[in-house]
Amino acid sequence: MTSSTPALVSGTGIGQGVAIGVVARMSDPLPPPADSPSTRTQADEAERARTSLRIVARELESRGQAAGGAARDVLEAQAMMAEDPMLSEAIDEALAAGKTAERAVFEAFASFRDQLAAMGGYLGERAADLDDVSQRVIADLGGVPAPGVPSPEHPFVLVARDLAPADTAMLDLDKVLGLVTSDGGPTSHTAILAREKSIVAVVGATDATGLADGTVVILDAASGTVIANPTDQQKADAERRIAERQAAAVAPVTPGALADGTAIPLLANLGSSAGAQAAADAGAEGVGLFRTEFLFLDAGGTAPTIEQQREHYLRLLQAFPGKKVVVRVLDAGADKPLQFLNDAHEENPALGLRGLRALRASEDILREQLTALAQADAATQAELWVMAPMVSTVEETGYFVGLARECGIRTAGVMVEVPSAALLADRVLGRADFASIGTNDLTQYTLAADRMLGSVAALQDPWHPAVLRLVGEVGAAGAAVGKPVGICGEAAADPLLAVVLVGLGATSLSMSTPALTDVRASLLNYTIDEARQLAEIALAADGAAESRAAVAAAALSMKEA
Amino acid sequence: MAERTVRIGSSHGLHARPAKLFTQAASSSGASVTLAKGSGKPVNAASILGVISLGVDHGDYVTLTADGDNAEQVLDDLAELLVTDHDE
What are the DSSP calls for B48-76, one per residue? Answer: HHHHHHT---TT-EEEEEEESTTHHHHHH
How far apart are the CA of A211 and the nearest CA of chain B, in angstroms? 36
- Cβ of B48 within 8 Å of Cβ of A81? The answer is yes
For residues A429 and A513, the model is more confident at A429
Query: Which spans in A97-231 are helix H?
Result: 101-119, 121-142, 165-170, 189-197
Of B11, B16, B44, the CB nearest to A86: B44
CATH architecture of the domain A42-142 equals: Orthogonal Bundle (1.10)
pLDDT of residue A26: 87
Q: Is the pLDDT of residue A123 over 50?
A: yes
Class (C level, CATH) for A8-27+149-248: alpha beta
Residues on chain B bordering chain A, Cβ-to-Cβ distance under 8 angstroms: 9, 11, 15-17, 19-20, 23-24, 43-44, 46-50, 52-53, 55, 58-59, 85, 87-88
Q: How far apart are CA A388 and CA A390, in angstroms?
A: 7
Q: Is the pLDDT of residue A2 over 50?
A: no
**CA of A354: how far to CAs of A218, A389, A417, A429, in Å?**
45, 9, 12, 22
According to the CATH classification, is domain A279-526 in 3.40.50.300? no
**Percent of chain A with pLDDT strictly greater than 70:** 92
Instruction: Give ∠ CA A265-A203-A495 in degrees, rounded to 5.
Output: 15
**Model confidence at A166, in pLDDT bands (50, 70, 90)?**
low
Q: Is the pLDDT of residue B73 over 70?
A: yes
**Model confidence at A122, in pLDDT bands (50, 70, 90)?**
low
For residues A228 and A294, the model is more confident at A228
pLDDT of residue A1: 38
Average pLDDT for residues B21-37, to the nearest whole number?
92
**Is A407 known to be catalytic?**
no
CB A483 within 8 A of CB A435: yes
How far apart are the CA of B11 and the nearest CA of chain A, in angstroms? 7
Q: Is the pLDDT of residue A404 over 80?
A: yes
For A319, the 3-state DSSP assignment is coil
Please tell me whether A229 is known to bind a ligand.
no
**Is B15 known to be catalytic?**
yes
Of A112, A122, A301, the CB nearest to B15: A122
Please tell me whether A451 is known to bind a ligand.
yes
Closest-CA residue to A223 (of A405, A442, A446, A11):
A11
Q: How far apart are CA A409 and CA A471, in angstroms?
A: 26
Please tell me whether A269 is known to bind a ligand.
no
Query: Which spans in A171-305 are helix H?
Result: 189-197, 232-250, 276-281, 293-298
**Percent of chain A with pLDDT strictly greater than 90:** 58
Average pLDDT for residues A490-506, to the nearest whole number?
94
The residues near A390 (Cβ < 8 Å, ≥ 6 apart) are A331, A333, A354, A355, A356, A357, A415, A417, A418, A441
Of B43, B55, B88, the CB nearest to A123: B55
- Based on its alpha-carbon atoms, the radius of gyration of chain B, rounded to whole angstroms, reads 11
Q: Is the pLDDT of residue A321 over 50?
A: yes
pLDDT of residue A295: 81
- What tens digit of pLDDT does each residue of A50-104 get? 999 999 999 889 888 877 776 788 788 889 999 999 999 999 999 999 999 999 9
pLDDT of residue A277: 84
Query: Considering the domain B2-83 in this protein, what is its CATH number?
Result: 3.30.1340.10
- Cβ of B11 within 8 Å of Cβ of A77? The answer is no
**CA of A161: how far to CAs of A92, A262, A330, B53, in Å?**
34, 42, 37, 28
How far apart are the CA of A85 and the nearest CA of chain B, in angstroms? 6
Domain ranges for chain A: 8-27+149-248, 42-142, 279-526
Average pLDDT for residues A456-469, to the nearest whole number?
90
For residues B73 and A301, the model is more confident at B73
Q: Is the pLDDT of residue B76 over 80?
A: yes
Tell me which chain B residue has its CA closest to the CA of residue A114.
B53
Which chain A positions have a beta carbon within 8 Å of B51's beta carbon? none
pLDDT of residue A374: 97
Domain ranges for chain B: 2-83
Q: Is the pLDDT of residue A416 over 80?
A: yes
- Cβ of B20 within 8 Å of Cβ of A77? The answer is yes
Kindly report the backbone phi and psi dihedral angles of residue A25, in degrees, each rounded to the nearest multiple of 5, phi listed first. -90, 145
Reported ipTM: 0.91
**Percent of chain B with pLDDT strictly greater than 70:** 95
* Interface residue of B33, B48, B82 to substitute, partner A, most A CBs within 10 Å: B48
